[in-house]
């Protein structure tokens, strides 16, 4: 079960998210008590809004840095922690979440609420992936292998909104 601090922060951030995917808010409303883990990730784009930072997961392919929100941790704090752990990057996150979604990370697991935060970071910054999990910059115009194929379009939309100031 999710603790109250984490639950309150997740519900608040889900309500503030700029965009919603997978009918995530209705999914959340249908669950007055969350027993599934909550996930947080960061869509990191460079200042030109043309590249995104991704990590290579052994099962999921190239994905945004992120992971499970720990007990007593807010999704925002988890996103900061995961970005540092998986990419070696420290960044200021956007004031409001970029998106809220519902993900199935494995066929044998329940769907998971995912809070997505945004950050703009120079592509010149040094990145360091975890052992066995490379990290790199990808053009938003290129294809990359991922079980979350819809993410490329979602990240492009995020970068486009940032580039026009909204």
Q: Which domains does the chain have, with CATH numbers?
A: 4-163 (3.90.79.10)
pLDDT classification of 69: cutoffs 50, 70, 90 = very high
Q: How does 7-38 read in b/e, with b if 16+ C-beta sit within 10 Å?
A: bebbeebbeebbebbbebbebbeeeeebeebb
CB 33 within 8 A of CB 122: no
Rounded to the nearest 5°, which phi and psi values hold at 55?
A: -115, 150
Instruction: Give yes or no for residue 99 having a pLDDT over 80.
Output: yes
How far out from the chain centre does Cα 135 lie? 15
Q: Which residue has the higher pLDDT, 165 or 28?
A: 28
Q: What confidence tens digit (pLDDT) does each residue in 5-51 have? A: 999 999 999 999 999 999 999 999 998 888 778 999 999 999 999 99
- Rounded to 10 degrees, the C-alpha dihedral 60/70/85/14 comes to 70
- Residues 143, 118: Cα–Cα separation, whole Å: 20
Helix, coil or strand: residue 5? helix
Task: Kindly report the pTM of this predicted structure.
Answer: 0.94
CB 72 within 8 A of CB 2: no
């Amino acid at each position: 079960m999710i603790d109250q601090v984490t639950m309150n922060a997740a519900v608040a951030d889900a309500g503030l998210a700029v965009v919603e995917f997978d009918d995530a808010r209705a999914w959340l409303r249908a669950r007055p008590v969350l027993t599934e883990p909550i996930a947080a990730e960061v869509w990191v784009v460079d200042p030109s809004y043309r590249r995104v930072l991704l990590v290579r997961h052994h099962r999921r392919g190239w994905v945004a840095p992120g992971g499970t929100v720990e007990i007593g941790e807010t999704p925002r704090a988890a996103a900061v922690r995961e970005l540092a752990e998986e990419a070696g990057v420290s960044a200021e996150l956007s004031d409001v979440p970029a998106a809220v979604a519902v993900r199935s990370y494995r066929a044998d697991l329940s769907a998971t609420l995912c809070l997505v935060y945004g950050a703009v970071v120079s592509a010149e910054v040094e990145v360091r992936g975890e052992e066995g999990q490379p990290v790199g910059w990808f053009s938003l115009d290129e294809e990359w292998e991922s079980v979350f194929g819809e993410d490329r379009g979602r990240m492009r939309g995020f970068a486009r909104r940032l580039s026009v100031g909204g």
